[in-house]
Chain A
Amino acid sequence: MPDSTVLLPTNNRPANTGSSMNDDASRLDGIAKVTGAAKYGRDVYVPNSLFVAFVRCPWGVGELVSSNRDAAMKVPGVLDVELTKKEGQYHGATVGHMIAESPAALSRGMSELACRWKRREAKTRLAEEIGEEPPIGEAAAAALAKGSKRLEADYSTEVQTHSSLETHGVSIDFKSDSAVVYASTQGTFSVRDGLDERLKLKRSQYEVVCEYVGGGFGSKLGGAGKEGITAAMIAAKYNRPVYLFCNRAEEHLDTGNRPGSRTRVRIGFNDDGTIVGGEIRTWGSVGPNKSGGGCNVPSGRYNLGDTKKAHEDVALNAGMPRAFRAPGHPQGSFAEEMMLDEVAFACGLDPLALRLKLIRSDAIKEMASLGARQIGWDNRRPTGSQKGVVRRGMGMGITSWGRFPAAVEAEVVINQDGSIEARTGTQDIGTGQRTMVGIVTSSTLGVSLDAVTVRIGRSTLPEGPGSGGSVTAVNSAPAFIAAAEDAKRKMLEALTQRMNAEPGELDIADGVIRRGERNAVQWKDACAMLGNAITGKGVNNRATVDADKTTGNSGGAQFVDLEVDTETGVIAVRRIVAVQACGRVVSRKLAESQIIGGVIQGLSYALFEDRLLDRVTGAMVNPNLEWYKIAGPCDMPRIEPILWTKDGTGARPLGEPPTIPTSGAIACALFNALGTPVRSLPLTPDKVLTALGSGERA
């Protein structure tokens, strides 16, 4: 029987199994988003706007030999061309920009500019750029020697681009003494902080607005970015509105990515699967600036004995990494989970049994056992035991994530006309922040969700954090509980006076003022009795986090059931069970949606995504959504999120952890089906056939 404090998936949820603050509410902005009523920054065309485009290097390394600025300037509508660099170190690197009165003038101007580039040799392959490997350390060698068996294996992953549907950029409504900056960002306030000098305005003279964001996944963190800064400077210079958004190719090339990785495992272990130790050496493929290539293995989730770690970033002539949903984790998790399955196979052990032995967290062990029951792990066949054309495989992986503190200011305003506003400047990047704020506020206050108007995504509202590190819900919820409690207390104090009630006699429930056991005053009438609007304030800070002993790391475990066609190498993932710790669930539907989204992104990463650089020219050959392949509806398995609510009463980080273990679990399931490991993501048919020894090579 399911544990009573675990929430099973909505579609087969038994009654009374655990609880959330709200089980059924849909996103407050769901209808606006699907009907197009929601206006994203990219949708905002301000009359009289200037349009700006970057001039970009078309090759891995390119030297700008010549250009025809005069011809470009003669195109009607082209106002300026500024070329500031003579060389680009990756495809998409900016060397200048053009300003015009219309997108059409920009495109004509660009073709008249006729940049001629000299192509130079580019570094495009991580495997080829890894220098001579230093010898294994003495301690690692000793540990390696102590095991009765050893595993030496190389695992690799490719670069994943964020592929935000709404590309990076800003639309700035600039008037000489004020501006509204419509940004597509994960940090409304970080955009504000960077722009005063560029806009040549005081902070009080401009507002950053970010009502909706069409995807970011980490790539829209950290300020206004190249796009925002350039647009702001041009707006100030020309005293005009400016529109600057990347096109689809630019989005792939120059707005960040998850770096590729190589992991060389050399570990010794005993016949019972105990890892004695050894060395795990990782490399990350990064851009010319040589940073940001972390690969998180060993993750610390397993007891790997005395295993040493070494890491090096390797520069390629390619777009630079940026934070990407659990930076460094999926690539490390893929290597770590595969490594464990290979150890289990070598020892003749069930990979679940091996993991239950090595997992450090008792909670994650419990989640793993629960997930195994849900997927039907007992039906898993021994690795390599199948002979048919289509083979079945099961695999698993685990995850964990820390809770990071962030300062949040929240306001809950009760107006005399009965309206209620919940206010924070923190943006909703699609995770459901807007809805979460509404649910926390309404349930704390004792009113219905639709009674609350949520105002978010503006730099003139109370300050909140950037959406990175899975911090927004975790840190906003306590602030809004405090703000709503403050508002409620102030309102009841005022009403106690007006109604000559005893202190503590009044309360709010279901949107009605209660006096003792009876309904005393309707909400609107009560608000009309208030002398002023009431503002409740709440803050979340380090102290709040430290005081809340119940919140901590979010663990999880995922299980995959797949089929692989051994004649074609095509994988069909049938089911994924994702058990995820989430503490107090604010909204069941949104929490499940977060987990499903993480799983989908992990599946797409495992099976398809690959930023492919031309080895001759260094250009990315697939900067589009046609050949940069992302999983679609027909590639989706049945995904069963299970919300694990046992260990905590506070909200837990949920954005990043669910995308960490998916790719490893899929690769392990493939290994189980085939009997031979595919150690390189994405798991494409050519690699599967090669692993089976049936891929014919030229």
Chain B
Amino acid sequence: MKSFAIARPGSHAAAAKLAADKTYTLPVIKSGGIDIIDQMKEGLLEPDLLVHLGSIGEGAATISMEGGRLRIGAGVTLAQIASSPIVIEHCPVLAQTAASAATPAVRNMATIAGNLLQRPRCWYFRQHQFDCLKKGGGTCYAVEGENKYHAIFGGGPCHIVHPSNLAPALVVAGGVAHLVGGKRTSIPIADLFHTPDKGVRTEHVLEPGEVLTHLTCDAAPASGFCGIKEKQSFDWPLAFACVGLRVTDGTIQSAGVCAGAVAPVPWSLPRVAEALAGVKVGDDAAIRAAAVLSGQDARPMRDNGYKVRLLGVAVHRAALKALGREAEGLS
């Protein structure tokens, strides 16, 4: 780890200025530090200035309802989201997703902004000796190598899965990221990330000097999450799904479905959503049939074909959860 300076700005605007400060070679914004510190220890990131956001007020650590939309400060922790009565009531998919991430210790430190903007956990990217595409090399080592946990969608050339658990939940709830420091003041979460073919060195579209201040999203009271993990303590999901439904008179009017851990970006599944529209809430077979469509365009690698099936199961169960039910046969 190289020596670095640390700054503790009092406002997001000041943080944005520091992050764009040309007198430093690599200023980096740090929130909870879960990912940044990991990257520094792994020798993947050598900032000469860390801009620590922990001292910023401006509602950075609060959750509220404003004008029918949920507002979550950038510095709100996953633990806060998981246990917030407001989130649990108005956007259960977000609370459930936050609760499923990592460990209690990590959830107490990790912030929503950091969760969205963290770098991928691909084991080739994370080990210094692999000069993979993300590090400017010419190879995605996962193609010929060990790809059990890699992407089944996206078409490469890099096959990471997006690491954020919360992004798919926010996509389903019409989430928007609010920014300072750049030309725009907001961007929909659905547009925040780009696929590797649009640039393999980064995962999101923010410019240096753009700082995420807070997030807003619609209330999505009929929403649910289902993640399938090998281990039930401290593990990344093999596949997960977030489903938001609009239900009237016992019929699903419209749906939003977004998957995680299966693609380099939060992976929206519009065909599943379309198939869910018009389905009676009690018609389990129709919901299951819609869920199976999630795997239609999958292009699995050598060792991750099992994810296709898991995704279908996750979508099915998340949809049932959005309806306040559990899949039959599960206790």
Residues of A within 8 A of B (CB): 58-59, 104, 107-108, 111, 117, 388-390, 565, 567-570, 572, 607-608, 612, 614-617, 619, 621-623, 626-627, 629, 631-635, 684-686, 689-690, 694-698
Given the complex, which residues of B lie within 8 Å of A689, measured CB to CB? 306, 309-310
Cα separation A617 to B131 with both chains bound (whole Å): 12
With CB as the reference atom, state the residue of chain A lying closest to B309. Answer: A696
Contact digits for B320-331, partner A, Cβ 8 Å, 1 yes 0 no: 000000011111
A432 to B124, CA, bound (A): 40
> Smallest CB–CB gap between A561 and chain B, Å?
14
The answer to whether B329 and A697 touch across the interface, beta carbons within 8 angstroms, is no
- Distance between A131 CB and nearest chain B CB, rounded to angstroms: 24
Contact A621–B231 (Cβ < 8 Å): no
Q: Which residue from B43, B121, B123, B306 sits with its C-beta under 8 Å from A685?
A: B306
Contact B233 A634 (CB under 8 A): yes
B313 near A621 (CB under 8 angstroms)?
Answer: no
Partner of A621 from the list B144, B145, B299, B300 (CB cut-off 8 Å) is B145
Partner of B233, one of A108, A614, A617, A632: A632
In the complex, chain A residues whose CB is within 8 Å of the CB of B123? 621-622, 627
Q: Tell me, yes or no, whether B301 is within 8 Å of chain A by CB.
A: yes
A685 and B146 contacting across the interface, CB-CB below 8 Å: no
The residue of chain B having its C-beta at the shortest distance from the C-beta of A62 within the complex is B129
Which residues of chain B come closer than 8 Å to A390, judged between CB atoms? 329-331
CB nearest to A247 among chain B residues? B41
Could you tell me if B141 and A389 are in contact, using CB atoms closer than 8 angstroms? no
Cα A622 to Cα B43 with chains together (Å) = 16
Could you give, for residues 242-276 of chain B, a 1 whenever the CB lies within 8 Å of some chain A CB and a 0 otherwise?
Answer: 00000000000000000000000000000000000
- With A617-B145, A621-B145, A686-B148 known as contacts, the answer to whether A633 contacts B306 (CB < 8 A) is no
User: Which B residues are CB-close (under 8 A) to A635?
Assistant: 231-233
Provide the bound-state CA to CA distance between A690 and B123, in Å. 24
Residues on the B chain within 8 Å of A388, using CB: 329
Cross-chain pairs A/B with CB under 8 angstroms, 25 sampled: A111-B43, A388-B329, A389-B327, A389-B329, A389-B330, A390-B329, A390-B331, A567-B313, A568-B228, A569-B310, A570-B228, A570-B230, A608-B230, A614-B146, A616-B144, A621-B127, A621-B145, A632-B232, A635-B231, A686-B148, A689-B306, A695-B305, A695-B309, A696-B300, A697-B300
Query: Chain B's nearest CB lies how many Å from the CB of A446?
Result: 46
The answer to whether A58 and B306 touch across the interface, beta carbons within 8 angstroms, is no
Main secondary structure of the interface of B (DSSP, over half): loop
Cβ distance B159 to chain A, nearest Cβ, rounded Å: 13
| Residue in chain A with minimal CB distance to B104 | A633
**B2, A108: Cβ atoms closer than 8 Å:** yes
A634 to B232 CA separation, bound complex (whole angstroms): 5
Q: Cβ of B212 < 8 Å from any Cβ of A?
A: no
If A389-B327, A607-B230, A697-B305 are given as contacts, then 19 extra A-B residue pairs at C-beta distance below 8 Å, sorted by A number, are A107-B43, A388-B329, A389-B328, A389-B329, A568-B228, A570-B228, A572-B232, A616-B144, A617-B141, A619-B130, A627-B123, A632-B103, A634-B233, A689-B310, A690-B306, A696-B306, A696-B309, A698-B302, A698-B304
Query: B121 to chain A: which residues have CB within 8 Å?
Result: 626-627
Question: Is A698 in contact with B231, judged by CB distance below 8 angstroms?
Answer: no
Contact partner, A629, options B2, B144, B230, Cβ 8 Å: B230
Q: Which residues of A contact B127 (CB under 8 A)?
A: 619, 621, 623
Using Cβ atoms and an 8 Å threshold, which residues of chain B touch A104?
1, 3
Interface size class of B (residues with CB under 8 A): 35 or more
> Roughly how many angstroms separate A110 CA and B9 CA in the complex, as a whole number?
33
B24 within 8 A of A: no
Are B330 and A565 within 8 A (Cβ)? yes
Most buried by B among A612, A617, A631: A617
Complex Cα distance, B145 from A619, in Å, reads 10
Residues of B211-240 whose CB lies within 8 A of A: 228-235, 238
Most buried by A among B121, B123, B228, B327: B123
CB neighbours of B148 from chain A (8 A): 686
State whether A615 and B146 are in contact (beta carbons under 8 Å apart), knowing that A568-B310, A568-B313 are contacts in the complex.
yes
| Shortest distance from the beta carbon of A100 to any chain B beta carbon, whole Å | 14
Which B residues between 19 and 57 are near A, CB-CB below 8 angstroms? 43
Once A59-B129, A614-B145, A695-B309 are accepted as A-B contacts, the answer to whether A632 and B330 lie under 8 Å apart by CB is: no
Known contacts A627-B123, A631-B233, A685-B238; A615/B300 CB under 8 A: no
Residue of B nearest to A683 (CB): B230
A684 to B300, CA, bound (A): 18
Cβ of A634: which chain B residues have Cβ within 8 Å of it? Answer: 231-233
Q: Does B93 contact A (CB under 8 A)?
A: no
Residues of B within 8 A of A695 (CB): 305-306, 309
The residue from B1, B129, B146 contacting A58, defined by CB atoms under 8 A apart? B129
Collect the chain B residues with CB atoms within 8 Å of residue A686's CB. Answer: 148, 303, 306
Q: Mark B275-313, 1 if CB is under 8 A from A, else 0.
A: 000000000000000000001000111111110111001
A386 to B174, CA, bound (A): 42
Task: List chain A residues, Cβ under 8 A from B234.
Answer: 632
Q: Which residue of B lies closest to A604 (CB)?
A: B231
B145 contact set on A, CB distance < 8 A: 614-617, 621
Residue interface mask B136-161, A partner, CB < 8 A = 1 = 00000100111011000000000000
A607 neighbours in B (Cβ, 8 Å): 230-231
**Cα(A614)–Cα(B124), bound, Å:** 10
What separation, in Å, do the CA atoms of A698 and B148 have in the docked complex? 12
| B194 vs chain A, min Cβ distance (A) | 25
Shortest Cβ gap from A98 to chain B (Å): 15
Q: How far is the CB of B122 from chain A (nearest CB, A)?
A: 9
Residues in chain A near residue B331, CB distance under 8 A: 390
Q: How far is the CA of A694 from the CA of B308 in the complex (A)?
A: 10
Of B301, B313, B331, most buried by chain A (CB within 10 Å of CB) is: B313
Chain B residues with Cβ under 8 A from A633's Cβ?
233
* A685 adjacent to B141 (CB under 8 Å): no
Q: How far is the CA of A117 from the CA of B130 in the complex (A)?
A: 12
CB distance from B196 to the nearest CB of A (A): 19
Least CB separation from B302: chain A residue:
A698
Complex Cα–Cα for A635 and B145 (A): 29
Q: How far is the CB of B118 from the nearest CB of chain A, in Å?
A: 13
Question: With a CB–CB cut-off of 8 A, which chain A residues contact B130?
Answer: 617, 619
